[in-house]
Structure 1
Amino acid sequence: MAGQDRTGRFWRSDAASGLILVSPTALYAILLLAVPVAMVLAISFWTQNYLEIDRTFTLKNYAEALSEPLYRQLMLRSLTISGAVTLTTVVLAFPIAYFVSFHVSPSRKSLWIFLITIPFWTSYLIRVFLWKVILGFNGVLNTSLQGLGFIDEPLTFILYNANAVVITLAHAYAPFAILPIFVALEKIDRSLLEASQDLGENRVTTFLRVTLPLAMPGVVAAVLIVFIPTIGDYVTPRLVGGPNGLMIANMIQTQFLKLNNAPLGAALAVIAMVMVSTIALIFVGLNRRYLRGPK
């Protein structure tokens, strides 16, 4: 009877209500996130024999993925491009978010946020093709610069290389960086900034010692939101990257769809996930140390 009473009290408690509310979401996450990742991890330890898969446990795929120079080059290039995209996007997004938060009247902030989200109205693929038209050998940018007399020959370093991938991805993920930074800036108590200036700080030091530390949660969110998906992007490198702009995701796609070697593709995917998770955890840890300051 005591056990039944405790069970009855539990199902009438707030904890039980919360558990019931999150159960559909948790089940959804398990079925569509955890299970596919577990399947990829399991496949990475198998072997592909033409059209059949040998389910015998082996580390051959990981040994090949880590020893082959081409795969190491693609992984390093992916980290470099994703890092450049993240740095470019966040550095350009912060001033926009700061301007909207501190210099736009409250009645017009919604309009600015609405304008920032306009790129989401068009297909991601269409935006990539538009950048291909803009950056092309005879594209809008080269034609305009030649017409104005700034260059004599079309620029060749802005398409079909890593530069084009960085430019295209930075534009595509800009709203993802602006919005979390804007939210973090909106939460800052403006009286803290006034108190800092009353204590003798100028605008620059107030920004560095008050505004930026308080906005760091939004910056961290923006970095993770941009860095994690860009390292796995394969559409943009395929369309505008050329041979020197391909990333590890393109090789994973090739292994799965063209070379019929799903286990090796799965091993490359697992290694990429581990790299991204490690870098993200290190970044979050360094950010926490920065916010705590010197002991």
Structure 2
Amino acid sequence: MTAGATVPAAQSRRWRESDEARGLALISPTLLYAIALLLLPVMIVILYSFWSQDYLTIDRTFTLKNYQEALFQPIYRDLFLRSLSISLVVSVTTVLMAYPIAWYISFHGGRNKNLWLFLVTIPFLTSYLLRVLSWKVILGYEGVLNTGLMASGLIHEPITSLLYNSNAVVITLVHSWVAFAILPIYVSLEKIDRSLIEAGRDLGDTALQSLIRVVLPLSLPGVISAFLIVMIPTVGDYVTPKLVGGKDGVMIATAIQVNFGRAANWPLGAALSVTTMVLVSAAAGMIVLGFRALVRSVR
């Protein structure tokens, strides 16, 4: 019995001294921290979404009523569609603006690449709220843009459609996220072997053909990362639609905030949150597959 008990003890001691055990010991605090701050709150929100609430009383009886309301109520359905459409427009516009900048820094930045990257990130050293409010000053009825257009004689009275609509939300979000799109695209471009571009040029490719057939496919991971970095948070953005969106720029985050706040309907707010996460995840997956199919067709 003593000899038989010694074998498992020796195996346990050897495992505790192994590289696998040391690795698990190193990542365990981080893993527990991530579970506590990321997974646990999500699980609580999911749990709340299957309950119901009457004034301040939570009924913990399992129900799908919140999801039925979130998916089939016209107001929430319209908010989901508007949020996804605004987010997609913002993501496409941001990537289209960021790619030429990242390409120029990577291929023509020379010894000043770090300086260019620093200049790109300078506006983002200020508060996000201040950057959003600055667009109110620019796009407002008596803002910088209207004042400049009137001073130049191009218009005779201020344009009222610049602010408090979905276009203002798109413009503000693009400006707020463009730097976050430039950086992953730049990193992806930096990893491209320049000899591949030279080989394509030697085989008769023009500069545009090299960009489409060599540079763009090889930089696809950065483009996808930039697209997702912009799309996922902008779907749930609350501050920008609240400040510059008006009634035509309201997004789903506003409805979630109302249900967790004034409406005091936490289960419905949780169901809206979970539905948003699922829709965004599905949209992100389809977009990634679409990017890959596009690149294969180009090749």
Q: What range is the shorter-chain TM-score in?
A: over 0.9
1:169 aligns with 2:169: no
1:192 aligns with 2:186: no
Map residues 148-167 of structure 1 onto 2, 5 A cutoff: 148-167=152-171
SS of the residue aligned with 1:53? strand
Question: Which of 164, 182, 186 pairs up with 1:182?
Answer: 186
Aligned to 1:272: 276
Distance 2:127 2:57 in 1: 37
Structure 1 residue 292 displacement after superposition: 5.3
Distance 2:158 2:243 in 1: 20
SS of the residue aligned with 1:228? helix
1:116 aligns with 2:120: yes
Aligned to 2:71: 66
Which string of whole-angstrom CA distances, capped at 9 and with x for unpartnered residues, describes residues 16-58 of structure 1? 3332232222212111111111000000111111111010000
Distance 1:204 1:110 in 2: 26
Aligned to 1:248: 252
Distance 1:268 1:63 in 2: 10
1:222 aligns with 2:226: yes
1:96 aligns with 2:105: no
Indicate if the aligned counterparts of 2:135 and 2:172 stay in contact, CA closer than 8 A: yes
SS of the residue aligned with 2:224? helix
Aligned to 1:78: 83
Which string of whole-angstrom CA distances, capped at 9 and with x for unpartnered residues, describes residues 162-193 of structure 1? 00000000000111100000000000011110
The structure-2 alpha-carbon separation of the partners of 1:90 and 1:35, relative to structure 1 and needing over 3 Å to count, comes to same
Distance 2:10 2:291 in 1: 47
One-letter amino acid matched to 1:283: I
Distance 1:255 1:7 in 2: 52
Q: Which runs of 5+ in 1 are unaligned?
A: none
SS of the residue aligned with 1:258? coil
Indicate if the aligned counterparts of 2:212 and 2:298 stay in contact, CA closer than 8 A: no
1:145 aligns with 2:149: yes
Question: Which of 22, 25, 30 pairs up with 1:20?
Answer: 25
The structure-2 alpha-carbon separation of the partners of 1:61 and 1:279, relative to structure 1 and needing over 3 Å to count, comes to same
Question: Which of 38, 52, 61 pairs up with 1:56?
Answer: 61
Larger radius of gyration: 2
Distance 1:164 1:135 in 2: 8
Q: Which moved more, 1:236-245 or 1:15-24?
A: 15-24
Aligned to 1:134: 138
Distance 2:289 2:219 in 1: 16
Distance 1:42 1:80 in 2: 29
CA RMSD of aligned residues (A): 1.6
Aligned to 2:236: 232
Question: Which of 33, 42, 46 pairs up with 2:38?
Answer: 33
Q: Which moved more, 1:90-99 or 1:61-70?
A: 61-70
Aligned residues: 294
Aligned to 2:3: none
Indicate if the aligned counterparts of 2:105 and 2:113 stay in contact, CA closer than 8 A: yes
Which string of whole-angstrom CA distances, capped at 9 and with x for unpartnered residues, describes residues 235-261 of structure 1? 100000000000000000001111000
Identity over aligned residues, as a percent?
58
Structure 1 residue 293 displacement after superposition: 5.6
Aligned to 1:10: 15
Structure 1 residue 294 displacement after superposition: 9.1
State the TM-score, normalizing by the size of structure 2.
Answer: 0.94
1:44 aligns with 2:66: no
Distance 1:161 1:244 in 2: 5
The structure-2 alpha-carbon separation of the partners of 1:129 and 1:274, relative to structure 1 and needing over 3 Å to count, comes to same
